[in-house]
């Protein structure tokens, strides 16, 4: 049985829910009590607003396998960064370069991929260079969701433990059927440290 456990961080007056979905605090101020399978639970109020913000405008349609992509796509490129961390990212990636984390992207044939998009949910979108390496800013050691995308390929990595100033390698996961995806979910901890 798959279960879920959700933690929130408060950044700039909003609750941030993994993988970086911004939620207004009023949703949690006076929770609503609902009955589900014979028990009462407190849920965000109004629940429809929470579900729309978390899963997107099509939240009422059951998705089954692949819902993770809808959640990750709801996350803005700076949602996991406070104002100060956004400035720090800008400075470290440009004006005052400093060591950043990176990922080298390989395709199924073992070739490095230039011009791949690496999206770290809540932190930004970064492209690989001619060597297949994308550099990105990680403010602190934590779990992040990522999307690796290049021509004919997209993979959601929903749970990656990333460390600042660390280099990683990405190899595509196995091709699986929707039924296999439904049972196993998305790949987690798919990156290897260099």
pLDDT tens for each residue of 36-69: 999 999 999 999 999 998 888 888 887 766 677 7
Instruction: Compute the distance between CA of residue 20 and CA of residue 122 in angstroms, rounded to an integer.
Output: 5
Least confident of 19-33, 57-71, 115-129: 57-71
Q: pTM here? A: 0.76
Of residues 168 and 54, more confidence is placed in 168
Instruction: Compute the distance between CA of residue 86 and CA of residue 12 in angstroms, rounded to an integer.
Output: 12
pLDDT (0 to 100) of residue 65: 65
Q: pLDDT band for 180, please (50, 70, 90 cuts).
A: confident
* Domain covering 98-193, topology: Immunoglobulin-like (2.60.40)
Confirm if 9 and 16 have CB atoms less than 8 A apart. yes
The stretch 139-151 carries a mean pLDDT of 90
pLDDT tens for each residue of 29-40: 999 999 999 999
The stretch 83-93 carries a mean pLDDT of 64
Rg (CA), the chain: 18
Predicted confidence (pLDDT) at residue 158 exceeds the cutoff of 80: yes
Instruction: Compute the distance between CA of residue 19 and CA of residue 9 in angstroms, rounded to an integer.
Output: 11
pLDDT (0 to 100) of residue 184: 62
């Amino acid at each position: 049985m798959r279960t879920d456990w959700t933690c929130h961080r408060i950044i700039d007056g909003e609750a941030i829910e993994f993988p970086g979905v911004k939620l207004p605090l009023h949703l949690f101020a006076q929770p609503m009590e609902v009955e589900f399978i014979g028990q009462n639970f407190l849920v965000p109020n109004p629940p429809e607003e929470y579900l729309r913000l978390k899963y997107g405008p099509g939240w009422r349609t059951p998705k089954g396998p692949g819902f993770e992509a809808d959640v990750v796509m709801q996350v803005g490129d700076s949602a996991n960064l406070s104002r100060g961390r956004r400035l720090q990212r800008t400075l470290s990636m440009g004006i005052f370069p400093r060591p950043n984390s990176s990922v080298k992207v390989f395709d199924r044939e073992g070739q490095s991929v230039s011009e791949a998009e690496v999206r770290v949910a809540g932190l930004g979108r970064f492209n690989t260079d001619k060597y297949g390496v994308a550099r990105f800013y990680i403010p602190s050691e934590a779990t992040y969701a990522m999307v690796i995308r290049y021509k004919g390929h997209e993979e959601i990595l929903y749970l990656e433990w990333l460390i600042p100033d660390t280099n990683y390698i990405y190899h595509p996961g196995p091709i699986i059927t929707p039924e296999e995806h439904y049972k196993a979910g998305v790949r987690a901890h798919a990156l290897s440290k260099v």
